[in-house]
Each structure stands twice: as structure tokens, then as C-alpha cells.
Structure 1
Amino acid sequence: MTPTSIPTAGAAVGGRVLDHPARDEIRIEGVLHALADPMRLRVVRELAAAESELTCSHIDLPVSKSTSTHHFRVLRESGIVRQFYRGTAKMNGLRRDDLEALFPGLLDSVLDAANRQAHRGDGTR
């Protein structure tokens, strides 16, 4: 993985920079693997519904903190999310532009299917 700095408005200047794959390093296998996990898909759905980046703690997962950290790392390393520090908070946002450029329609199709499945599960077809 090539360390890349994803420029983000409001990111702390001189703060810690997390490694992200460059656009051309994002692989469909990694994206599909990351999206196949229900907890990671839940994170992606929440980020997609948000109007801006969210902190890791904003997304309440029914797992331990270390497991939650693992899920966010898998999402970052697969190229689905970008993470950056704003002060001491680790912010998360979808890399929609990169995913759409590489795999047109994939993210929207997965999100649509996940939302339809969630509605079926709670009886609100």
C-alpha cells in the first residue's frame, strides 16, 4: 500500500496521516471482501446516509472497541473509506469518487440492496 495523503477540508495541519491506497491500487476483491461483512456494511450505510464525515464513535457497532477498530481499518485499507484526524477525533468518509471511477454503480447498487434487505428484515417493505 502506498502511503497517500487524502486531502480533506478541515483536516488537522501537521497531524497524523493514515495510509490509504491510491485510487489505482484499489482492488475489486478487497472492496467486495470489506463490503461482505455485516458490520462493515453497516458502517458504509451510515456513512452514505450522513451529510458529512463521521467519527468512529458516532457509529455504534455491537462489537468491542478493538473489533470496531479492525472493521474501520479494513474499510480504509480496501479503499472504501478515507480516515483523517480532526484534533483527536478520527473522521471517516466514503471515497465515493474513487469507487465510482473504478467500479461504476457498485457502491450505489450495494447500498440499495442492503437498504432493501434491511427493510425486509424489519417488515417495512
Structure 2
Amino acid sequence: MSYAITARAAFGKKCKDQEAFISVFTEETKVKSGFFTSEFFPSLKFLDAVSGLKHRVENIHGETDRIVGNILNDHKESRAKGRSEDEDKEDLVDLLLRLQEDGEFPLIDNNIKAILFDVFSTGSETAATTIE
């Protein structure tokens, strides 16, 4: 439930990839909380690649990047078409896109994706941990 609430707050509306994003996010959290040999022994960095852990993290990150990219594209299309009366409130994604368009801050899509991922992870993981 905390993931759904945080996703709604971060993305502004229920999006079609919300469930996929939540499952990929939880998988990424599990994998990243595992043991990486290179964190303790930098000279043995190749063991992370041999064990397949590095490849798994890269695949999950690619999937997360794709989903957040779709969310960004949906918001860009919505902004281009104009908002309906139901969607007259500006959410976090719209705010970041407006800042990008105005040129007030040098934001690229990858910056916006990182901000959204950080907001989602910060808002959901702490609540889920507290509930557990």
C-alpha cells in the first residue's frame, strides 16, 4: 500500500506501468542489498561479473529506466495536448518538466528520472520498513 501511495504522489496519477515499476523496484532493492564482493575487496571486482550479480543489477536498472521513461513520455504527451479539467493540478513530474522547458535549471531526462526514483525510494522504503 505504501508503494502505491508513494507512486501516486511521485507520478501524479495512476499510470499503466505502476505495478510493473513497483515490482521491479522491490526486486532492485533486494538485489542491491545483497553482498557485492567489490564493495569490500575492490581488487576482486571481477567476481561480481562472474557471479552474474552485476548483469542482473544492470538488467533491472534498464527495466526501471524504461518504465520511468514511459511515465515521462506520458506526461510530455499530456502537456503537449493540454490538460483536461480532471488533470488541472500540477504534479512533481509536471513541475520538473516545466523547469526543464523554462531552462531555469539545466535538467535532462536522466536527471528527472533520477529525481523520481529517489523520491519513490525515499518515500516508500522508509514507510514499508516502519510498517514491518
**When the two structures are superposed, what TM-score results if normalisation uses the length of structure 1?**
0.30
Normalized per residue, which structure has more strand? 1
Which structure's relative contact order is higher, taking Cα pairs within 8 Å and 6+ residues apart?
A: 2
**When the two structures are superposed, what TM-score results if normalisation uses the length of structure 2?**
0.29
